[in-house]
Chains A and B, each alone.
Chain A
């Protein structure tokens, strides 16, 4: 089952904010929203995660809607190095060993 839905691709101009949406309408109360990205031919890189509050770190911000059925990852000032496939994943918080299941993600291309 696909727990998340993301657009297959997006473009963003260099220096602008990149906003990547994710729908997770069947998310349960125990599940966190995680974001990872994969630059070509590398392993995925952790970006950020959250439960219900908005989160910010040095890489990005995560905005989760009040009903938790969708979220947006924001890269505030996109650079060419942000070109990657971005994966939105939901995972149960109470089972620490539960696997991460990757969907098809969003291929983000930063345009010079």
Chain B
């Protein structure tokens, strides 16, 4: 199946700093990518929908100025957690959908720990 690569897989940062997470579709083009967050023992919660060449659409309750999303090409979307705090520590997962067909493929996730 199609491959979605996320980088880094694990990151530890100091409180107040910013962290960038990359999501790449390796063998297909994705006009839309999705960013999810998952806290321990909970399900995936959609944060935002990232559209190539336009502004991301954020879910209710997600601060767009804190979670900056850029989708500059058909194969790359980035999520930047700005001024990270310990409560932002979570598992962040991206997803990309093939231009044709309904299947969505997920990255391996990024474990963010803010200390």
Judged by a CB distance under 8 angstroms, whether B28 is at the interface is no
* Neighbour of A96 across the interface among B34, B43, B46, B102, CB < 8 A: B102
Whether B106 pairs with A49 at a CB distance below 8 angstroms is: no
Whether A41 pairs with B32 at a CB distance below 8 angstroms is: no
Residues on the A chain within 8 Å of B49, using CB = 97, 99
User: Chain B CB within 10 Å — which of A41, A43, A46, A102 has the most?
Assistant: A43
Judged by a CB distance under 8 angstroms, whether B84 is at the interface is no
Binary interface encoding of chain B residues 19-62 relative to chain A, with 1 for a CB under 8 A from any of its CBs, else 0: 00000000000011010100000011110010100000000000
Judged by a CB distance under 8 angstroms, whether A21 is at the interface is no
Known: A96-B97, A97-B97. A49 touches B43 (CB 8 A): no
The interface stretch among B63-71, B75-83, B107-115 is: B107-115
Q: What DSSP secondary structure best describes chain B's contact surface?
A: strand
Residues on the A chain within 8 Å of B111, using CB = 41
Within 8 A of B (CB), among A38-85: 38, 41-46, 49
* Neighbour of A91 across the interface among B36, B51, B102, CB < 8 A: B102
**Nearest B residue to A38 by beta-carbon distance?**
B44
**Nearest B residue to A46 by beta-carbon distance?**
B103
**How far, in Å, is B12 (CB) from chain A's closest CB?**
16
Whether A97 pairs with B31 at a CB distance below 8 angstroms is: yes
**Nearest A residue to B100 by beta-carbon distance?**
A96
**How far, in Å, is A85 (CB) from chain B's closest CB?**
8
Could you show 24 A-B contacts with beta carbons less than 8 Å apart? A34-B102, A34-B103, A42-B108, A43-B6, A43-B95, A43-B106, A43-B108, A44-B44, A44-B95, A46-B104, A49-B103, A96-B32, A96-B97, A96-B99, A96-B102, A97-B32, A97-B51, A99-B46, A100-B95, A100-B104, A101-B46, A102-B36, A103-B43, A105-B43
**What 6 A-B pairs are tightest by C-beta distance, nearest first?**
A43-B106, A97-B32, A102-B44, A44-B106, A102-B43, A43-B109
